[in-house]
Structure 1
């Protein structure tokens, strides 16, 4: 038996697979950006470095060199001005990409008008007040105040103008005298002067990080308790709805749409049934693959004398192998 050459878009012993980055019945379509290989519906099955999950899920723009875990999306390393786990800015920076400098007198901030910690010598919500000569913080080390810096601030206070008037707390404390501990679930043990967390530990939400994210959230949720991502098999804002059993491997998007359907079904939630001879289909009139012995647009035509009822080309009906004592492409 002679050998034949595959078309440039096909590979495999019988030329029945697409080359990387191609998909479709005749391998005529390009996979989404970032995919090495994808299925007949255009869903990624293997990603290039810098991409994760299915479809076109790119790494966070906070990841250094666009490198992250291909399934969870967690950065391998952070870009400059982000601190691990690449969710918050380093001290002195703020903004979407942490590219903006905090006001001159802020040690750390959330915005141009919201300092979370002042530099030595300054106090106030925006760190815009200079300490007086009587309260010479300007030249005092953190934790001291008064002339010649001989007086100690309250032990949890970082900057003060008197023993009872603190303007910047040590990490982990809040209040007028920094007498209160930050909620235990605040990330990096940091909270604002009103007790609200600067950022949250994974699994918690709410102004004071005292509420637990829904149990099926993947790692984290928003301040309102909506999940950022769901665990396998769940969807919805709070991940409290199960994916359709017709979703392949019970995997679906946050909106409940299936990434890929189990054999014999199609539709956004795989709610529709393919024609009877189809293994996979795009709609009721276009099959992507047929059960052995059938071919055609809707798998309604029977293959010829293929060996042991093996499959034939879905478009042409040509057998992959002929039955014993038979030859030719089809009959």
Structure 2
């Protein structure tokens, strides 16, 4: 008999069965238990008790639709008010929603159960504040909003507590309480991060964004001419006081801006009043223009003028001395005895009343 080999084999088997942390199995503990195990799995064969709704040695199979829990393909627990192999029958109304899964006879669940399996003495869902196989345990007193009905882990903790059972303290810079995984819900002023462990930038005033650390308000003052504050990152004014525009409201515009309105970016008047042009409408249009574009050509002429800068006089044969701004053609002749674009041709003498 090889004693050394037997000892080595026995030791390897012991390590395979007992040396893995919860949730893993195998000779090198490299394989993860099924996510549907309700507890740790066997280190050697990975079998485990299943969460509700799953079955099989490793809990990889989902129960038949309609079952809360099952044993192979047979339902072992039904939703409230149902019974049968596939939970396809309804309990009678006088059962108040709870009856034997096999017979349909009315029965009562343990007082803290939502529904139950009377054969295996097991609850499916506990009322708020309880957990356990038959909901016999109260959630830890530090749990703020109940606990997991299987393992009793707190969903949320009361103020300044954290951990699975809310038996640890929240990080010191948390404002109020934190999650069971020790993440803060809100930070004290001046801090950010999951555990509120990072200081906000020095120029922040008060709190900053909990995730990015971006300031909500800044210590630096907005430019004095801003009328309603400025952007907290760039410092650009949101609005300017009267007769000013520009990113920092540093430009004064003229009264030749239409309605005295100018844009902050790009800095300019929105529109110029008649007879003026330029970024801030300081420049005058050519004398006979009504309105002009950058002073290079008129977009409208005063009555009686035409041309690129309204330098030409409309023909005196035009009615009301009005003509086309580009060609000088009369819109209408001064009387009906003339015709042609400049109204310089007389109607034929053969026309009645010499009108044409």
TM-score for the superposition, normalised by structure 2 = 0.38
Answer 1 or 2: higher relative contact order, Cα 8 Å, separation at least 6: 1
Q: Say which one has the larger Rg.
A: 2
TM-score for the superposition, normalised by structure 1 = 0.41
Higher strand share: 1
